[in-house]
Amino acid sequence: MKLTKYEHACFTLEKDGRCLVVDPGNITDDFVIPQNAVAVVITHEHPDHFDESKLQKIVNDNPGLVIVGHQNVVEKVKMTTTKSISAGESTDIGPFNLQFFGGKHAVIHSSVPIIDNLGVMINDTVYYPGDSYAEPGVPVKILAVPTSGPWLKIGDVADFVLAVNPELAFSTHDAHSSEKNKELIDFLLPKLIDSSNTSYMRLTKPLEIDG
């Protein structure tokens, strides 16, 4: 598979000539619409993950595309086929097996309602928790780890990486960070997870992976 990380929380996986898109939100300005997409996974309804105008453009170029998310997401989608999914469920679309975990967004503040959020494991290889620290409870080769946001602190990020114990963790959910903060995260996080065997990196080019 080829993994391509875009700005903020969006990434794609390509396998056997088909593409899976994850969380193409409204602050992912560098996203390139694929011409071979079979599905889009939306982890939750916040606009930095779920941008209806961007989804419409993806659907226009990929007729028959399936949008996968929990009920609160898919009921907002009118432009293509959808599949409602919950934590604990799985589905196969094209060459991609999708397993879902968690169920709730991380706490932002006691005054802010907690919305639904799904973590997704793709082909038993890549795990992305959305805006949460939901642990899948199964081995993870590659973890897309959120490293910036109003609900997040770096100590909790490190503890999450240590708990999941992937072979590789790469930064995501990071458009909120200045370049100086990204440099700080890239300096601190490897030190905080040094007791593990996890490698950490910030993806700047596509990554070829098994899966």
Please check whether residue 210 lies inside any domain of the structure.
no
Sheet harboring 90-93: ordered strands across? 90-93, 96-104, 116-122, 126-128, 142-146, 168-172, 199-201
pLDDT tens, position by position, 174-201: 999 999 999 999 999 999 999 999 999 9
Please check whether residue 171 lies inside any domain of the structure.
yes
Give Cα 51 to chain centroid, integer Å. Answer: 14
Closest CA to 15 of 96, 93, 99: 96
Which residues constitute the domain of residue 91?
2-196
pLDDT tens, position by position, 42-69: 999 999 999 999 999 999 999 999 999 9
Please check whether residue 145 lies inside any domain of the structure.
yes
> Average pLDDT in the 132-153 region?
97
pLDDT for 79 beyond 90: no
Please check whether residue 204 lies inside any domain of the structure.
no
Please check whether residue 116 lies inside any domain of the structure.
yes
Please check whether residue 206 lies inside any domain of the structure.
no
Please check whether residue 91 lies inside any domain of the structure.
yes
Round to whole Å and give the CA distance between 85 and 171: 26
pLDDT at 67: 97
Please check whether residue 207 lies inside any domain of the structure.
no
Tokens found for residue 145: 């780890």
CB 144 within 8 A of CB 170: yes
Number of domains composing the chain: 1
Provide the CATH number for the domain around residue 75.
3.60.15.10
